[in-house]
Every structure is written in C-alpha cells, then in structure tokens.
C-alpha cells in the first residue's frame, strides 16, 4: 500500500546478493564465521574436526589486492567438495535468486514491475511522508540559519542517500552536485526568501524532497507498470491530520544518585501534515502510531470506519467501493494519475494530478541527467564498492589524525625548548658576575 517496493532502499536490497566475491572470500578465509542459529540448525552436527565454517583449513591466497586476484585464487584453491559446507553457506548467504511458485524473481526493478504487476492494487502515500522527521536527522544539532553552502551540502546528502540506490547508473561526484543543485532550485525559492533560509522552513523542504524520492516517485513508477498491464489501480493520498495534539512518547534513561531508571516523557509535536504510518493508527491501534499518539474522537472514528471498509472491500472483491462508502464511489485512477481518493474529512475524490507532479522530476529528469553523464564518460568507469568507500573514509580520517599528531608534537617540542631556555636563563650559574673586585696595585 505504501509504494515502497520501487524505492531506492528496496531496490538496493533486491539487487544486491550476498554471493559477491568479496563476501565469499571473507567466509572462505574465516574472517567471517557462520554463527547464525538459522544456518547452523539446518546443518546436521558432525564429528569431524573443522577449523571454521565446515572447512578443515581456511583458504590462503598469495595475493588478494583486487577482485581479479581473489577470483583467480578461488579458481585455483577453493574447495567446495564438502556437502555440509555448501549447505551451510547456502543458508548463511541465502539463495542466489528468489524463487516463488517455481519462478525466478528478477533483480531488475523494471523487469520485476513489468512482469509481476498481475493483480489490482490499492496504493497511496501520506501527504508528507517524512513530516515527522526531526531536524537532527538532517545534521542540525542546534537552531541556525541556513546559508547557500549549507543548503547544497544537505541537499546533496539527501540525493546521495535516497536517490542513488534508485538509479541504474553510476553517478560521479560532479553529477551528484549538479543533481543536488537542480533539486534545490526545484524545492526552494531562490529570491527574497533565500539564501539565507530559516531552518524550520528549510527542513520542511528537505522533508518534501526526501518524501518524493522515497515514496511518491517510486509509487508512480509502480502505478505505471500496473496500468501498462491493464490492471485496476486505486490511488489515494492520506491527508487527514488529527484535530487534537499529536503527542510523542519517549523513554529516557536517567542516572540519579547512582540509580538507573527509565523515565517516560511526553511532548507535543508541531507537525503540520499527515506523515508516514499515521494511517495505521486508524486501522489497527485507535490513535497510536509508533511512539506517537493522539486523542481518538468522533471524526477519527469516521475516518477509521471508511478506511477499513475500503480495505475490506478491496481485499474481498478487488474493488474498494462495491457500494458507495459514506456517499463516495472510488473509481480506478486515470493514466495521468488523476482521479484519486483524498483521505481527509469529509472524503473527497480529486480529479487532477497536481499532487503527483514531482514524480516526473525524479523519475524522468534526474534519471536522464544520470544517464547522460554516464554515457558521456563523466566520473569513474567503476564505482567504489562499500568496502572501498569505508577504506577511503578511514584514510581521510588517518590523514587528518596524522597532521593533528604532527602539530601536537611540534607544539610539544616548542614548549620543551622554551622551558629549557627559560630554565637556563634563570639558573644561578648562568648569571653575570657582580662580585669581581679590581684592586689598584
């Protein structure tokens, strides 16, 4: 229902396999060990002596500086003849491909959506999915005004974390900066309102940007796949915000006079839009969503009744309104994504598609920028792997730590020299002689 199957984090999880050569090498050399209960429970206990991972001795490679070296070493030296080892590795890594009803589920997102959009779908998003995301999650530790440099950095971080896994092509740093710049121009007003920007308004722009990347754009892409397969799509936007205060509940660890205890705190949230998971409070929990709750009144009960009727009808008949619910008939969405249900009170059918206009910005424009940059040779031919990125970050930290150490040693040496010179000057033996008497003979 949330449109998350085509989001960047979901695509990345579908597309990546544990059976990559670097991960396999770590297990074969016993750097990583099979310790999960699920893997061990499927392999019968044995009485032979294995050093680790059901191997009598770990793999040893003379050179393992690159994936090519590792691959050649595995070809020559890796031994997979032990059936117990193969079985344990299979349960530890998972299957190479997902099998459902005898069919292989592809890792390609477009292939997945095109071939498996076979049944009607009821799908939608909240008005602003990340409306409850706090400023601290975007790196703001205290209230401040946002200048242009800071705005570019924050936008680039959002694009890098949320959009890049969604794309099929590698994006270099220059292209990433360009995409962040275009996104800023699209979501911020570059006139009298900025730069600089008030932090609360800027965070709201980041919330909208991230919500569109992770929910709106992938949802519209998924809808298009269902429409191309002539399936019925029922689209909604959940925009009802409770009339009374939203309360956030937190448990804080307090250490008072050596006694540790958990203290429950409550505070009102200044949220202006319906957010991710709020609709769950109207289906399952009567006003409680994650650690946020609100008083449940008559309007909330009417929203809950309508939402539950829609869902029950759709699950039973494939149509949310076999008969009108609260006087509303819910038709299928049009090809231009108009004609969707707006969950407010009263319920409303919206016949325009302005709500989903940002989807084409991310699905079409940003994808074209990334593809154009890749086809014209911008950036590295091969992207850094996760391990290479971690190593690069470690090298950067070590480089700065080295310079800090050099500066500290230099400062210490100067202090020692100054102390030695001062001590020498103040020493009695270093003073000028003032008791020399010259006698006249």
* pLDDT of 102 over the 70 cut: no
Contacts of 27 (CB under 8 A, 6+ apart): 33, 34, 53, 89, 92
Residue with more model confidence, 156 or 385 = 156
- Across residues 188-205, what is the average pLDDT? 76
DSSP 74-138: HHHH-----HHHHHHHHHHH--SSEEETTEEEPS-HHHHHHHH--S-EEEEEESSTTTT--GGGG
Residue 358 lies in a domain: yes
Mean pLDDT in the chain? 82
Residue 153: pLDDT above 50?
Answer: yes
Residue 7 has pLDDT above 70, yes or no: no
Contact predicate 369/175, CB 8 Å? yes
pLDDT in tens, 403-419: 999 999 999 999 999 99
| pLDDT for the residue numbered 417 | 93
Q: Is 153 found in the same domain as 43?
A: no
User: Is 5 among the domain residues?
Assistant: no
- The model's confidence at residue 390, banded by pLDDT at 50, 70 and 90, is confident
Q: What does each C-alpha distance from 339 to 281, 343, 352, 354, 421 come to in angstroms? A: 25, 13, 6, 11, 86
Q: Would residue 420 count as lying in a domain?
A: yes
Instruction: Identify the pLDDT of residue 341.
Output: 94
More confident residue, 431 or 347: 347
pLDDT score for 307: 93
CATH of the domain at 154: 3.40.50.1820
What is the mean predicted confidence (pLDDT) over 335-344? 91
Q: How many domains does the chain have?
A: 3
For residues 255 and 349, membership in a common domain is answered with yes
**What pLDDT, on the 0 to 100 scale, is given for residue 418?**
92
Q: How confident is the model at residue 315 (pLDDT cuts 50, 70, 90)?
A: very high
Q: Which domain holds residue 69?
A: 18-95
Residues 73 and 209 in one domain: no
pLDDT number for residue 122? 94
Question: Contact, 54 vs 82, CB < 8 A?
Answer: yes
Please check whether residue 329 lies inside any domain of the structure: yes
Instruction: Give the per-residue pLDDT at 332.
Output: 94
DSSP labels for 135-202? Answer: GGGGT--S--EE-HHHHHHHHHHHIIIIIGGG-SS---HHHHHHHHHHHHHHHS--STT-SSEEHHHH
103 domain residue, yes or no: no
Q: Is residue 254 part of a domain?
A: yes
Asked if the model's pLDDT at residue 1 lies above 50, the reply is no
- The C-alpha R_g of the chain, in whole angstroms, comes to 31
Q: Is the pLDDT of residue 160 over 60?
A: yes
Regarding whether 76 and 145 lie in a shared domain, the answer is: no
Q: What letter would DSSP give residue 3?
A: -
pLDDT tens digits, residue range 123-133? Answer: 999 999 999 88
Span 51-61, average pLDDT: 83
Same domain, 231 and 322: yes
Mark residue 89 as left, alpha or beta (left: phi above 0; alpha: psi -120 to 50; beta: remaining).
alpha
Q: Are residues 189 and 154 in the same domain?
A: yes
Residues 25, 156 within the same domain: no
Q: Provide mean pLDDT across the span 149-170.
A: 87
| 232 and 345 inside one domain | yes
Whether pLDDT at 206 is above 50: yes
pLDDT tens profile 236-293 = 999 999 888 888 887 777 777 777 777 778 888 888 999 988 888 888 877 666 778 8
Identify whether residues 354 and 401 lie together within a single domain. no
Q: Which one-letter DSSP state was computed for residue 295?
A: -
Q: 248 forms bridges with which residues in the sheet?
A: 267, 292
Of 47-61, 69-83, 326-340, 364-378, which has the strongest mean pLDDT? 326-340
51 & 147 share domain? no
The winner for highest mean pLDDT among 91-105, 111-125, 254-268 is: 111-125
User: Which one is predicted more confidently, 213 or 382?
Assistant: 213
221 and 350 in a common domain? yes
Q: What is the pLDDT of residue 191?
A: 47
Compute the average pLDDT of residues 142-157: 89
Tell whether 331 is covered by a domain: yes
pLDDT in the model for residue 330: 94
Residue 83 lies in a domain: yes
């Amino acid at each position: 229902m949330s449109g998350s199957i085509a989001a960047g984090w979901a695509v990345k999880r579908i597309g990546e396999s544990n059976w990559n050569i670097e991960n396999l090498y770590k297990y074969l050399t016993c750097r990583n060990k099979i310790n999960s209960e699920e893997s061990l429970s499927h392999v019968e206990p044995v009485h032979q002596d294995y050093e680790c991972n059901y191997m009598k001795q770990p793999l040893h490679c003379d050179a393992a500086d690159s994936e090519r070296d590792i691959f050649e070493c595995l070809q020559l030296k890796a031994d997979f003849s032990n059936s117990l080892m193969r079985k344990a590795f299979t349960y530890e890594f998972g299957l190479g491909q997902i099998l459902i009803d005898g069919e292989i589920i592809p890792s390609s997102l477009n292939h997945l959506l095109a071939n498996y959009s076979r049944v009607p779908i009821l799908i939608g998003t909240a008005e602003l999915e990340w409306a409850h995301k706090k400023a601290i999650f975007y790196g703001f530790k205290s209230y401040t005004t946002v200048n242009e440099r800071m705005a570019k950095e924050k936008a680039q971080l959002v694009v890098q974390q949320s959009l890049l896994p969604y794309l099929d092509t590698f994006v270099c740093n220059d292209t990433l900066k360009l995409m962040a710049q275009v996104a800023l121009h699209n979501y911020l007003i570059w006139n009298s309102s900025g730069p600089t920007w008030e932090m609360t308004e800027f965070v709201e722009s980041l919330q909208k940007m991230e919500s569109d990347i992770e929910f709106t754009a992938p949802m519209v892409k998924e809808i298009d796949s269902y429409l191309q397969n002539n399936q019925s799509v029922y689209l909604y936007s959940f925009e009802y915000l409770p009339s009374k205060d939203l309360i956030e509940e937190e448990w804080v660890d307090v250490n008072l006079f050596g006694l540790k205890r958990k203290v429950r705190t409550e505070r009102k949230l200044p949220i202006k839009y319906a957010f991710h998971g709020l609709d769950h409070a109207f289906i399952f929990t009567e006003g409680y969503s994650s650690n946020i709750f609100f008083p449940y009144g008559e309007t909330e009960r009417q929203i809950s009744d309508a939402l539950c009727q829609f869902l029950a009808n759709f699950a039973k008949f494939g149509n949310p309104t076999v008969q009108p619910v609260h006087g509303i008939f819910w038709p299928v969405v049009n090809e231009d994504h108009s004609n969707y249900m707006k969950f407010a009170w009263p319920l409303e059918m919206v016949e325009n598609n302005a709500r989903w206009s940002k989807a084409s910005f991310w699905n079409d424009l940003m994808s074209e920028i990334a593809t154009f940059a890749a086809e014209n040779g911008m950036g590295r031919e091969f992207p850094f792997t996760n391990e290479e990125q971690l190593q690069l970050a470690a090298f950067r930290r070590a480089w700065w730590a080295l310079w800090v150490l050099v500066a500290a040693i230099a400062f210490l040496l100067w202090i020692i020299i100054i102390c030695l010179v001062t001590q020498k000057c103040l020493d009695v033996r270093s003073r000028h002689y003032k008791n020399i008497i010259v006698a006249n003979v």
